[in-house]
């Protein structure tokens, strides 16, 4: 059984329309809501309900919604409709009257209702009550996909098959409350289309625009329709680790793929590393959904190897979710308030202002969530001006809420922030974290109590990557906490001491270098930051010691390159003079080398000596002439480290020494092939190099002929060595049309206080 009484009149009407299309096989002509029309929808033709049972003529659909869970249909419920029915019959608009209601329907009452409608002139009366509607929703996966709110209004263990529910339970159970409030938007329809066609979709948008909501709907639909195991992950490495080639129905959901509140270059680097694997996963039948804040994705695109994964460039696949219609905003606001925790008195008082709120230019779904939670509205005045300020100054008001918390609650939020929005439960702290809590006047026990009291409003307990974790209810709360850090030098000092260095360098900048939403460490704390960086010798993200050391080096270099001012770098190099020598001698695969980027940054800032610059140029030139790595010919920032004379000399040397033996370079790459890797992935680096050469020597017909010949031979070799992949039957969620039209004189909010 589904809690149909929680839908509201407008959503119930949309459900009925979808049932007409998906169950009755009819496209409804129109849905009206004027108080004197006498019909909520209509269609004409022949409908065969069952073998031997057909109806022909003009059909009128009337929806009767009740907000009471135990309501049963009575003849008196149609008292206002009978005169309208007579008029419809008199004008030949009603041969068959279809009554759809979420009320209970008994045999005796049905008979009485049919008699009344027959007396009004209707030839045939069909009544579908709550039991029938529940049955249709339960039996038809496609119907649930079109109305995903139903997932939040029923028992997931009864909706999903046992296998899918068992595999996805930890993720889906935590989503149930939010699923009950979802609204089908145009962005969701586009996302379904992208997932059907490409098996991949990237959802981008401003903070709190609804990316996670759409991803949760897609995850639920996949688990329901395909029996997919749903895996919600936070790290590219986890994607590769959890993929099972023998299970083609896996659905991977990667929230905040390139950083939660700020861009994290390490994540983009990790994605570049596994993009060939991602392509293989999609070919094998996996479905992948990623989300990212728009400003983070814009920054990540500079570092992503889009040539290795062209879908990042597809407008059909990268969907901006922020564009909501007025009707969608109104329904979002209705759902949150109807299913929120506000008192009936609050709902009644705010009701006259709801259309104004939904029409506000700064309204986003997060506003609806806050209005539905008393924790955010304790001092809210119910006037149009103050409500407008609630929407307009949404960031400032959230900061005021945090400022008003007790010290235990602030410490609890600080703990989540120090753990980068991933505080594992049960909570186990390092000594530095315990000391940080003490400096904030709290303790672990007090934080645990505070987390319980904040649960549902500011924090949430979820399952991520198989871990039970405390997280911010929404990342915007983390944004507000970061702002509080910048306003409090004392709190910032506690944060710098208490956070792990690996988390710290992905959240702060040393000086203002233009990283959006970052916490800026002031000059007075630079010595403390240099001391913390000296401690960072191994990353906790990797199990092997070798990778842990490499990961720490890569993250440190990235931090120095992207998040540090010249003033800080001068101090850091004074303490670590050996760094310059190391970054000027990078290894192969220069396009993903942390040393290369740091060397370029130091050169731009004038911190690279001439001796060091020449050493860097020599290493990159040697790689290019040998054919091992042609990145020096391809990247404009690296080109800036060369003088004009040096670069022209490199071009000449590549033409004279590399092009004549390009075939041997290709053969050497082919000889290094391992059958464990797909042939096209093995040759990807080589083909990228050939493309660089073709671009560089495009005006030299003889050189282009040589390069194209080697490209053709490389592709022939790939075809010869390409392993046959098993054919997978395409899986489609179907289409997802939105119901977005004006609703006449009746407001969506009409029954919100019923």
| Per-residue model confidence as pLDDT tens digits over 485-525 | 878 888 888 888 888 898 889 889 999 998 888 889 999 99
In terms of domains, do 156 and 300 share one? yes
Strands 287-293 and 124-128: unpaired
Report yes or no on 200 lying in a domain: yes
pLDDT at 173 over 70: no
Specify the number of domains making up the chain: 4
Of 337, 360, 392, the domain-final residue? 392
pLDDT for res 559: 95
Answer for the pair 286, 199: CB distance below 8 angstroms, yes or no.
Answer: yes
Tell me which of 238-242, 357-361, 640-644 is least confident.
238-242
In terms of domains, do 624 and 711 share one? yes
SS3 570: helix
Task: State mean pLDDT over 749-753.
Answer: 91
Residues 696, 698, 704: CA angle, nearest 5 degrees: 105
Beta bridge partners of 48: 54
In terms of domains, do 312 and 226 share one? yes
In terms of domains, do 159 and 284 share one? yes
In terms of domains, do 75 and 47 share one? yes
Count the alpha carbons within 13 Å of 310 in the hemisphere toward its beta carbon: 1
- Nearest-angstrom CA–CA distance, 630 and 622: 10
Tell me which of 273-282, 383-392, 722-731 is least confident.
722-731
The pTM (predicted TM-score) of the whole model is 0.76
In terms of domains, do 315 and 339 share one? no
Report yes or no on 482 lying in a domain: no
Burial of 379 (0-12, 13-18, 19+ CB in 10 A): exposed
pLDDT in tens, 234-292: 788 788 888 888 787 889 999 899 988 888 888 888 888 888 788 888 888 889 999 99
Q: What is the CATH number of the domain that holds 64?
A: 3.40.1350
Structure tokens given for 179: 């699923």
pLDDT-above-90 percentage for the chain: 39
Structure tokens given for 504: 């710290």
Task: State mean pLDDT over 537-566.
Answer: 89
In terms of domains, do 305 and 345 share one? no
Burial of 745 (0-12, 13-18, 19+ CB in 10 A): exposed
pLDDT for res 743: 52
Of 104, 139, 174, the domain-final residue? 139
Report yes or no on 737 lying in a domain: no
User: Which residue range forms the structural domain that includes residue 217?
Assistant: 144-320
Structure tokens given for 353: 């202002």
Count the alpha carbons within 13 Å of 698 in the hemisphere toward its beta carbon: 4
Closest CA to 468 of 519, 429, 422: 422
Task: State mean pLDDT over 559-572.
Answer: 96
The CA–CA distances, whole Å, from 455 to 374, 459, 477 equal 13, 5, 13
pLDDT for res 727: 53
Report yes or no on 500 lying in a domain: no
Report yes or no on 313 lying in a domain: yes
Strands (DSSP E) contained in 89-219 are 96-101, 124-128, 200-205
Beta bridge partners of 231: 252
Closest CA to 480 of 399, 376, 422: 399
Q: What is the CATH number of the domain that holds 173?
A: 3.40.50
- Nearest-angstrom CA–CA distance, 165 and 170: 9
Residues 704, 708, 709: CA angle, nearest 5 degrees: 115
- Nearest-angstrom CA–CA distance, 430 and 572: 27
pLDDT for res 36: 42
Answer for the pair 495, 501: CB distance below 8 angstroms, yes or no.
Answer: no
Task: State mean pLDDT over 41-53.
Answer: 77
In terms of domains, do 134 and 151 share one? no
Provide φ and ψ at 240, rounded to 5°: -65, -40
Beta bridge partners of 172: none
- Nearest-angstrom CA–CA distance, 31 and 9: 12
In terms of domains, do 20 and 102 share one? yes
Structure tokens given for 267: 């994540």
pLDDT in tens, 600-634: 999 999 999 999 999 999 999 999 999 999 999 98
In terms of domains, do 129 and 172 share one? no
- Nearest-angstrom CA–CA distance, 699 and 686: 21
Report yes or no on 457 lying in a domain: no
**Residue of 237 and 644 predicted with greater confidence:** 644
Alpha helices in 460-544 (DSSP H): 475-487, 489-498, 501-504, 526-535
Report yes or no on 547 lying in a domain: no
Of 262, 295, 320, the domain-final residue? 320
- Nearest-angstrom CA–CA distance, 342 and 404: 20
pLDDT for res 166: 67
* Residue partners of 681: CB distance under 8 A and separation at least 6: 276, 279, 280
pLDDT in tens, 422-467: 899 899 888 888 888 998 889 999 999 999 999 888 898 887 777 7
In terms of domains, do 149 and 269 share one? yes
pLDDT at 294 over 80: yes
pLDDT for res 302: 81
pLDDT for res 404: 86
In terms of domains, do 53 and 68 share one? yes
Strands (DSSP E) contained in 12-83 are 41-50, 53-64
Q: What is the 3-state secondary structure (H, E, C) of 652-672?
A: HHHHHHHHHHHHHHHHHHHHC
The CA–CA distances, whole Å, from 3 to 19, 70, 423, 609 equal 17, 11, 34, 71
Report yes or no on 681 lying in a domain: yes
> What is the rounded average pLDDT for all residues in the chain?
86
Q: Is 125 left (phi over 0), alpha (psi -120 to 50) or beta?
A: beta
């Amino acid at each position: 059984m589904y809690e149909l009484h929680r839908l509201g009149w407008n959503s119930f009407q949309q459900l009925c329309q979808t049932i007409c299309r998906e169950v009755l096989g009819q496209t409804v002509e129109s849905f009206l809501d004027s108080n004197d029309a006498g019909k909520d929808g209509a269609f004409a033709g022949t409908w065969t309900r069952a073998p031997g049972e057909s109806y022909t003529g003009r059909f009128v659909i009337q929806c009767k919604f009740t907000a009471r869970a135990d309501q049963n249909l009575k003849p008196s419920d149609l008292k206002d409709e009978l005169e309208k029915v007579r008029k419809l019959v008199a004008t030949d608009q009603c041969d068959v009257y279809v009554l759809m209601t979420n009320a209970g329907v008994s045999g005796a009452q049905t008979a009485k209702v049919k008699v009344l409608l027959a007396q009004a002139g209707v030839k045939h009366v069909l009544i579908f009550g709550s039991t029938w509607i529940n049955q249709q929703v339960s039996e038809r996966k496609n119907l649930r996909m079109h109305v995903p709110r139903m997932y939040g209004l029923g028992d997931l263990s009864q909706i999903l098959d046992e296998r899918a529910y068992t595999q996805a339970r930890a993720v889906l159970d935590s989503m149930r409350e939010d699923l009950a409030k979802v609204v089908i938007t145009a962005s969701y329809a586009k996302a379904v289309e992208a997932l059907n066609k490409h098996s991949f979709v990237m959802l981008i948008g401003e903070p709190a625009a609804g990316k996670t909501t759409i991803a949760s709907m897609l995850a639920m639909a996949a688990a329901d329709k395909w029996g997919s195991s749903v895996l919600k992950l936070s790290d590219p490495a986890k994607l590769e680790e959890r993929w099972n080639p023998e299970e083609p129905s896996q659905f991977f959901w990667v929230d905040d793929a390139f950083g939660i509140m700020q861009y994290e270059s390490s994540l983009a680097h990790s994605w570049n590393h596994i993009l060939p694997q991602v392509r293989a996963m999609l070919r094998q039948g996996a479905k992948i959904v990623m989300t990212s804040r728009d400003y983070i994705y814009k920054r990540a695109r500079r570092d992503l190897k889009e040539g290795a994964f062209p879908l990042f460039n597809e407008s059909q696949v990268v969907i901006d979710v922020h564009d909501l219609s007025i009707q969608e905003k109104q329904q979002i606001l209705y759902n949150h308030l109807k299913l929120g925790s506000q008192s009936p008195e609050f709902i009644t008082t705010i009701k006259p202002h709801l259309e104004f709120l939904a029409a506000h230019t700064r309204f986003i779904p997060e506003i609806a969530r806050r209005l539905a939670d008393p924790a955010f509205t304790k001092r809210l005045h119910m006037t149009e001006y103050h409500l407008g300020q609630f929407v307009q100054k949404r960031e400032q008001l959230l900061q005021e809420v945090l400022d008003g918390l007790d010290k235990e609650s602030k410490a609890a939020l600080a703990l989540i922030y120090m753990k980068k929005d991933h505080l594992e439960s049960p909570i186990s702290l390092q000594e530095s974290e315990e000391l940080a809590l003490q400096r904030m006047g709290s303790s672990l026990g007090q934080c645990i109590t505070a987390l319980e009291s904040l649960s549902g409003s500011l924090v949430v307990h979820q399952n991520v990557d198989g871990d039970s974790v405390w997280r911010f209810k929404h990342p915007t709360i983390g944004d507000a906490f970061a702002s509080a850090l910048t306003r409090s030098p004392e709190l910032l000092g506690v944060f710098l001491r208490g956070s792990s260095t690996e988390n710290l360098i992905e959240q702060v900048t040393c000086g203002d270098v233009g990283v959006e939403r970052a916490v800026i460490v002031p000059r007075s704390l630079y010595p403390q930051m240099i001391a913390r960086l000296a401690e960072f010798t191994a990353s906790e993200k990797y199990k092997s010691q070798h990778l842990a050391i490499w990961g720490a080096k890569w993250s440190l270099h990235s931090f120095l390159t992207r998040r540090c001012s010249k003033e800080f770098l001068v101090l850091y190099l004074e303490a670590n003079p050996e760094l310059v020598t190391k970054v000027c001698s990078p290894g192969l695969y220069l396009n993903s080398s942390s040393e290369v980027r740091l060397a370029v940054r130091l050169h731009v800032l004038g911190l690279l000596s001439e001796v060091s610059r020449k050493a860097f140029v020599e290493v990159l030139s040697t790689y290019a002439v040998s054919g091992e790595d042609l990145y020096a010919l391809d990247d404009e920032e690296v080109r800036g480290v060369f003088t004009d004379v040096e670069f022209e000399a490199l071009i000449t040397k590549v033409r004279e020494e590399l092009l004549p033996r390009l075939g041997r370079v290709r053969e050497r790459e082919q000889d290094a092939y391992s059958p464990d890797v797909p042939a096209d992935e093995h040759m990807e680096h080589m083909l990228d190099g050939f493309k660089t050469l073709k671009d560089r020597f495009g005006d030299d017909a003889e050189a282009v002929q040589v390069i194209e010949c080697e490209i053709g031979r490389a592709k022939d070799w790939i075809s010869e060595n390409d392993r046959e992949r098993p054919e997978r039957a395409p899986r489609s969620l179907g289409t997802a049309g939105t119901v977005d039209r004006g609703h006449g004189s009746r407001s969506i909010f009409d029954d919100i206080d019923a």
